[in-house]
Structures are given as C-alpha cells and as structure tokens.
Amino acid sequence: MEEQKKPVILSGITPSGVLMIGHYMGAIRNWVALQHEYECFFMVADLHAITVRQTPADLRRRTLDIAAGYIACGIDPDLCTLFVQSHVPEHTQLTWVLNCLTSMGEASRMTQFKDKSGENAENNNVGLFTYPVLMAADILLYQADLVPVGDDQKQHLELTRNLAERFNFRYSPTFTVPEPFIPPVGARVMSLQEPTKKMSKSDKNEKATLFISDTDDAIRMKIKRAVTDSGTDIRFDEKNRPGVANLMTLYSTATGKSNAEIEREFEGLGYAEFKEAAAEAMVGFMRPMRERFLELRSDTTMLNALLAKGAETARNRARRTLRKVYKKVGFAELG
C-alpha cells in the first residue's frame, strides 16, 4: 500500500537578532510538534533581512545564531529540512517570475510595506517593496500546503494564493495553493518594559527581551525589573493589567500551570513574591535551551554541515518546481 504523502509546511525567521522566548512560545514550540506530523521546511530567512541595511559580519553570525537556536528549541534536522534561504538560489529565481505576475497595485497595497517604508525613509528600497513576492516564492517553491501565519502576515499569504492561482490559470496547474495554518497553541509574549507591545529581538532596550542565550542572572534581572501595573494582586487581565498578564504567560509556559492555578497560588501575595517565582521558573525552563545553543555555536563546522545537508534537500525540491515553471513560461532549456 502506497504511503500517504504528508502535507508540507514552510516557515522561517529573519536573522535580525538571537532567538527570544517569544519566538519559542509563539511559533517554535508549535513547529516542534508539527515536525512529527508534517513534512516541514524551516529556513533562516536571510534574504529578507537585507531589506534593512546590515553589517555583513553581524548578518553571518546571526544567521548561524538563528539556526542553532532552532535546534536548541527542539527542531530536529533529522525530522525536518533546516536550511538558510540564500543557500537555495531558486528562491530568487522564482521571485523574478512572480514579480512579472504581480501588479504595482497589489504590491503597493501591502500594509507592511507602508509601515516599514515609513520607518526606513532613508533606505526605502525596491526590495522592501517586493519582499512579499519573495515570500510567495519561498512558499510556492516547496509546494507548501500550509503556512503558519500571524495577523501581520495574512495579507502576504493572500498575495501568495493569488499569484499561485494566476500562474495556474495562465500556464496550467503548477503550484499548490497554500492555506493558512492556525496553530492549536500559541502565546503572545509582550515586552518586559512596554507590555502593551510585542517582545522583539531587535528592541533597543535589552531589558525588554528574554533571549535564549541569556544567562541565569540576566533572566532573573529582566523579570524582576519588568514593568507591572498599579494594582497589587496577581490576576490575569490583558487589557487592564498587561504587565502582570505577560509575566503570568511566561510563568504558565515554564510551569504548565493555568492562569487560574497561578492566581490561587499567589493569592494574598504581592509582585515581589510573584516575580521571584517567575524568574526562577524561567531560569529553569530556559537553561537547557541556552546550554544546547552554546554547544551548537561552539562547533561551527558541525552546524555548517547540518545546514549544507538541509540546503541540498531543499534545493532538490526547489529545482523540481522551478524546472516546471521555467518550462511553462517558455524559457529555453540549457543543453
């Protein structure tokens, strides 16, 4: 009996910094579960990174940091394909074909372009304008059935679907039209210093973010200095008590306790006791990640070999798709 093909999932993170606990709680812990059920392609999206000016040495270092962080958080290169985006040139080759299918109106309506072009007025480049098309190429190259997306990426996935359907209609069925994947579990982790905005790996205030490379003492310090609220009781209320709610989310992840259980545990106690417990819980939770991350980063040869193996697997899949695309659009074959 023929083995049933697993649905394909693709996702990735841009190397603009070391992985943080927000990546793990919001995405990677779901990836860890998905790799057992789906055919997963997880990439370090370094091509996307250069829409913002980068220091070359920093970009190379952060690319390896992200790859090592994936593995430290539980991604298994033997169960999925782990690779660096720029190691697979088919991404940019397919992007050009898709650029020629994308109207100026479609690209200009992308809300993230409007936001990011306003933030980077001195570097308002064409890559920033067309990077949703590169994102579409990322997805379509691997014939992804499902794409994990947050609210800020739904519009880009819709563009991907439109381009796939347009190409299929114009040239004959070629691409799988991907569907959004809404994970069963996900946590929105907020800044420790500004709990009304998401935690960010590129936040200029390092006290706002818990990185998986943080030492035990750094984790304790960041949590104990986290912004809380004007109340005194430990109660989950994201709207009115965002600081405490954020710390409760972290504590819940580290301990497996529900918000109701946490509220009962700290009934009659104050912020000092709760922060102490939350800090120690996160230290114990994050220590294995940090130790594995440092182990991987100390052996660059081994890490590069893992990424080369992943790139080879990714290229084999990407070539098959690109070969079909080139033939259908009419490019002359080589040789």
User: Which pLDDT tens digit goes with each residue over 247-277?
Assistant: 999 999 999 999 999 999 999 898 999 999 9
Domain boundaries defined on the chain = 8-187+299-329, 206-295
CA separation for the pair 111, 114 (Å, rounded): 5
Annotated catalytic residue: which of 6, 114, 197, 201? 201
CATH class of 8-187+299-329: alpha beta
Model pTM above 0.85: yes
Helix (H) or strand (E) holding 165: helix 154-171
CATH architecture for the domain at 206-295 = Orthogonal Bundle (1.10)
Three-class DSSP category at 82: strand
CA separation for the pair 68, 294 (Å, rounded): 8
Higher pLDDT, 105 or 163: 163
CA separation for the pair 141, 90 (Å, rounded): 8
Contact present, 160 and 101 (Cβ < 8 Å): no
Pair of tokens at residue 273: 């006791």
Pair of tokens at residue 124: 């308002």
- As to burial, measured by CB atoms within 10 angstroms (0-12 exposed, 13-18 middle, 19+ buried), residue 21 is buried
Three-class DSSP category at 325: helix
pLDDT at 46 over 50: yes
| Residue 197: active-site member | no
Q: What is the reported pLDDT for 103?
A: 92
Annotated catalytic residue: which of 5, 154, 198, 222? 198
Mean pLDDT of 64-69: 96
Tell me, yes or no, if the two domains 8-187+299-329 and 206-295 fold the same way: no
Q: What is the reported pLDDT for 1?
A: 41
| Residue 116: active-site member | yes
pLDDT, tens only, 214-257: 999 999 999 999 998 877 889 998 888 999 999 999 999 999 99
Pair of tokens at residue 24: 């793990």
pLDDT at 323 over 70: yes
| Residue 222: active-site member | no
Q: What is the reported pLDDT for 26?
A: 86
Annotated catalytic residue: which of 5, 6, 114, 116? 116
Q: What is the CA radius of gyration of the chain?
A: 21
